[in-house]
Amino acid sequence: MGETREHSRWLVAVMGTILMIVLGTVYSWSFFQKPIVETYGWTNSGVAWVFSTNILFLGLSAAWSGINLPKYGPARLAVIGAVMYGTGFMLASFALSVESLPLLILGFGVVGGWGIGMSYVTPVISASKWFPDKQGFVTGMVVMGFGFGALLMSKIIAPVVLKIADGNLVFSFFMIGALILLFGFFAALFIKQPPAGYLPKGYTPAVKISAGDNNNSVEITAKQAIFTSKFAMIWVVFFVNITAGIMFISFQSPMMQDLWSRYSPGSDPVSLAAIGGTLIAISSIFNGIGRFFWGGVSDKIGRIQTFRLILASQLIVFVTLLFITNPYIFALLVCYVLLCYGGGFGTIPAYIREVFSERLMPVVYGTILTAWSAGGVVGPQIVGFMKDNFPQNAANYAFSVGSLLLATGFVLTLFLNNNSIFYKTK
């Protein structure tokens, strides 16, 4: 029985990672941003709303799914979510065929985003329950897959499909949607939670100090936990880290192409698109590794200490970006920002579990992902607004706003700690 359960928990972790790779293809949006703008004549900020809406509904859906996970079960939510995400691409194909930006926002943004959110929470929470002995490591591994999704899309799926379709975006979106639906559906079937009372062999949980032993310990509901000041500060810290990273995820290809055009005048559009796609692919590797790397670091030095390092180092990077004109250095710094962006997602599940308990994790973790919704709107719209209104200085203005946000987030981390709101461990 022990070997069977050990096999089961690793199967859940592996299939959960595969599901996350499928869902993470959404992070390749900047690959399509410029072609859509140029083909249909829509504004940068208008097309950016497609991605922003997707992330907005992703976070809202994740919150809803976390609350309803006990009712519907992880496999059902994961399967329905994967189907919705694939359907979102297909609806986007129809929207492009009729040249409707609102329909594109509805299809890829609302339907696709809600589907991603439904599926996203299930492998993270399930893996957390299967691996109480390896929290940062395994949840980091699972969410690492989400970061690698952009690599798969930008360097393999999208280029191959676009070549087959002879550059036709309508056909390409439909085919990509079909692939996402197929592979996402299969991986989602394996997501399940362990039986009640399951503990890995050789694992002894931390000793809980009861309220009688700790006058500061009280039993509260999930709703009460969400309205604590600690939750609010964690939410803002998470939001800041997301906003900083998603500014690049949504526009890194156009930003890289603009910088390269100034660095090497006369570059043709095909070469520029390839350069932008390469940055998406490479940075997605860092996004994925960051979830695994920083999650492991947080196991060693503590969750909030990890967030302090993530935000402080990014603040230095954003200030440095104000003076960078070399595209190679720009690419290196973008990769580091994406390493930290992924790190936030790799660290937050274990942090939520420790502060708010395993019992409240589905609801509290789902709710904390609304910070992703907010960041998904704010980050892309900052860059989109700057590109539409201040095209010559868009990047520097965006980096300045990002620096202020990171400074604010870092200051907040100084008021946070790793203590549980329920008990302390010994």
Residue ranges covered by each domain of the chain = 2-193+220-413
User: What integer best gives the mean pLDDT of the chain?
Assistant: 87
Residue 297 has pLDDT above 80, yes or no: yes
- Domain 2-193+220-413 belongs in CATH node 1.20.1250.20: yes
Region 61-89: what's the mean pLDDT?
93
The CA–CA distances, whole Å, from 314 to 241, 297, 303, 317 equal 9, 17, 17, 5
Q: How many Cα neighbours within 13 Å face the side chain of 164?
A: 13
The CA–CA distances, whole Å, from 341 to 31, 337, 347 equal 19, 6, 10
Residue 13: what are its φ and ψ, rounded to 5°?
-65, -45
For residue range 189-223, what is the model confidence (pLDDT) as tens digits? 999 988 877 777 777 666 544 333 444 455 778 88
If one compares 98 and 69, the residue with the highest pLDDT of the two is 98
* Cα 403 from Cα 317, distance rounded (Å): 9
Q: What is the pTM of this model?
A: 0.79
Region 249-256: what's the mean pLDDT?
81
Structure confidence at residue 6 as a pLDDT band (50, 70, 90): low
Structure confidence at residue 33 as a pLDDT band (50, 70, 90): confident
Nearest to 241 by CA among 317, 146, 314, 143: 314
